[in-house]
Structure 1
Amino acid sequence: MSREKRTPWHELLGKALADALIGLPYRVSSEEELALRSQRLDVLIIEQGPSPEQTIAPPEERPDGLEDLAAHNLLSFKAGGEPFDVWAAEELNSHYVTYRKLASIRALRHLPAGDETPVAEPRKAYPLLPVEDFRSYAIATRFPRKLVKQLPPGSCQKTAKAGIYHLRVGTRDLRLVVINQLELHPRNAPWGLFATDEAHWRAAFRSYRPRSDLGAHLHNLIAHHRFGEGKMAHTYEDMKREARDWLKTYLPQLDPEERLEGLDPEARLKGLDSEARLKGLDPDVIEAWLKKQRSDH
């Protein structure tokens, strides 16, 4: 079996997006079971309420196409040479119908997001969640020319961002993300890791900045699948240990300012004795501070 067939692209993309959306109130899963009947969605991003994080990346720093996530975001991803064709688009629309029912039933029964308890469709009519709560993403490495030719004229429209398109398939609007066409920018590295253009994915690999242990783990997995380097972590503890080891080798590459980014002043000074804290300060500044402390007390 070829390396291409062994590579768990859906799982890797799920990890990349989970790391890219750290701090946002969303849960990302891959190979999501749509349990009204057995069928799996490549990646699912669900809003989970207010974020506990103090700092959240503004929309313009998120990967292109993910600036305005809905409450429920369904992603269908065609990796490598696999084409995103009419069948794939219709399948995504079918997933939307099934998942909207499933999410509506879970909401009706007050089941939390991520609850994998099987649900049965009620015999009586039930309210569906608003259509505005759902967005479907068609993720392709190359532009799906064959698909666009098979759709009515005007069904595919460019947006202001390279590689992002509005796509109309049937009665549904999809957001088409063409990875190979995206701007080469660090914010797009989570997408770029999955490009088929070698220069593109290598640039993304170099510029990728993990935001969590999960991201560090993903970086190692990509190295394993792209270069045959690194080891596969089989448990969560393996993943955390692997991530810490990777960070130890990665941190020395950063500038001091980048290493300290996000830390409050007290955390930056932790471990320094009084002399080390005062070293380099202008004596006049120290004296002025002491004078102020005396006057305040």
Structure 2
Amino acid sequence: MAAQQKTDWHRLLGLIFTDFFTGSAWNVELEKDLSMKRQLLDIIILRQDGGKLIHPLPDGLEGMKKHNLLTFKSIREPLDEWTLKELTGHYVNYRKQISPSFHNLYPEDQFQLYGISSRYPKKLFSQQPELTKVQDGVYDICRGSDNIRLIVLNEIPHAKHNAIWHLFSGVPGEVEFAARQYRGKTQKISTVLNDLFDN
């Protein structure tokens, strides 16, 4: 039962992103299978040629790259050290798969990694000396040569452009605010929002 609930939360966020980026310069892929042994990366947001840019983006997504890899932990799941190791592993695998060859990899500066958490990851943050607060709810962490953007949804400022984050913050008042503010771009979005509220 718990595993099913986890998959639902990830898929709901992915479906909201799919709607949010509809008609823009970005394409969203959900639960991307990156290996022979089934391991799913929650969300990829891929910059396409053409399409319009969205402004303002939700806090923390400014400066997205061509390939944006996201892992998401809902209110019931911890964003922890293992999560970031998995995300880095997904990035390495994904970069190898899409590049022309293992000896001709796309440049690192075309990729951005995101760890998104509904709640403050207290244990993870206490273990990270290289953590930098960018703004409320948005942090950067350096791991080797990789910079991972961490977004803590229940700390994100109350604002219309952050409605997509408030939907998943786990804070009832913020979820209600987001539901009033978020205007979907596709017909299916009302069903997705209903599923979100049911959860």
Secondary structure in 1 matching 2:188: helix
What corresponds to 1:99 in structure 2? 94
TM-score by length of 1: 0.62
Query: Which stretches in structure 2 are left out of the alignment for 5+ residues?
Result: none
Once residues 8 and 14 of structure 2 are traced to their aligned partners in structure 1, the CA distance between those partners, rounded to angstroms, is 10
What corresponds to 1:274 in structure 2? none
1:69 has 2:64 as partner: yes
What corresponds to 2:151 in structure 1? 177
What corresponds to 1:143 in structure 2? 120
Greater alpha carbon shift after TM alignment, 81-90 vs 197-206: 197-206
Once residues 54 and 66 of structure 2 are traced to their aligned partners in structure 1, the CA distance between those partners, rounded to angstroms, is 18
Q: Does the CA-based 8 Å contact 1:20-1:62 persist in structure 2?
A: no
Once residues 219 and 194 of structure 1 are traced to their aligned partners in structure 2, the CA distance between those partners, rounded to angstroms, is 15
May I ask how many residue pairs the two structures share in their alignment?
199
Once residues 24 and 86 of structure 2 are traced to their aligned partners in structure 1, the CA distance between those partners, rounded to angstroms, is 28
Once residues 6 and 138 of structure 1 are traced to their aligned partners in structure 2, the CA distance between those partners, rounded to angstroms, is 15
What corresponds to 2:162 in structure 1? 188
More strand by share: 2
Once residues 113 and 27 of structure 2 are traced to their aligned partners in structure 1, the CA distance between those partners, rounded to angstroms, is 16
Equivalent residues in 2 for 1:56-135 (5 A)? 56-58=53-55, 61-104=56-99, 108=100, 125-135=102-112
Shift of residue 224, structure 1, vs aligned partner: 3.1
Query: Which stretches in structure 1 are left out of the alignment for 5+ residues?
Result: 109-121, 229-297
Q: Does the CA-based 8 Å contact 1:136-1:173 persist in structure 2?
A: yes
What is the Cα-based RMSD across aligned positions, in Å? 2.2
More helix by share: 1
Shift of residue 175, structure 1, vs aligned partner: 0.3
Deviations 1:178-225 (A, max 9, x none): 111111112111121111111111211121111x11xx5233322234
Deviations 1:139-198 (A, max 9, x none): 0011211012222x2x11111x32111112344210001111111112111121111111
Equivalent residues in 2 for 1:205-220 (5 A)? 205-210=179-184, 212-213=185-186, 216-220=187-191
Letter in 2 for 1:71: K
Once residues 35 and 24 of structure 2 are traced to their aligned partners in structure 1, the CA distance between those partners, rounded to angstroms, is 26
Once residues 7 and 101 of structure 1 are traced to their aligned partners in structure 2, the CA distance between those partners, rounded to angstroms, is 26
Deviations 1:91-137 (A, max 9, x none): 11111111111111xxx2xxxxxxxxxxxxx6xx5211000000000
What corresponds to 1:8 in structure 2? 8
Secondary structure in 2 matching 1:65: coil
Once residues 62 and 131 of structure 2 are traced to their aligned partners in structure 1, the CA distance between those partners, rounded to angstroms, is 20
Letter in 1 for 2:165: W
What corresponds to 1:20 in structure 2? 20
Letter in 1 for 2:106: L
1:31 has 2:26 as partner: no
Q: Does the CA-based 8 Å contact 2:16-2:192 persist in structure 1?
A: no
Higher RCO, 1 or 2 (CA under 8 Å, sep at least 6)?
2
Aligned-pair identity in percent equals 35
Letter in 1 for 2:154: N
Q: 1:227 to 1:37 in 2, by over 3 A?
A: closer
Secondary structure in 2 matching 1:76: strand
Shift of residue 38, structure 1, vs aligned partner: 3.0
Q: Does the CA-based 8 Å contact 1:189-1:204 persist in structure 2?
A: yes
Once residues 138 and 95 of structure 2 are traced to their aligned partners in structure 1, the CA distance between those partners, rounded to angstroms, is 24
What corresponds to 1:221 in structure 2? 192
Q: 1:37 to 1:99 in 2, by over 3 A?
A: farther
Q: Which structure has the greater CA radius of gyration? A: 1
Letter in 2 for 1:157: T
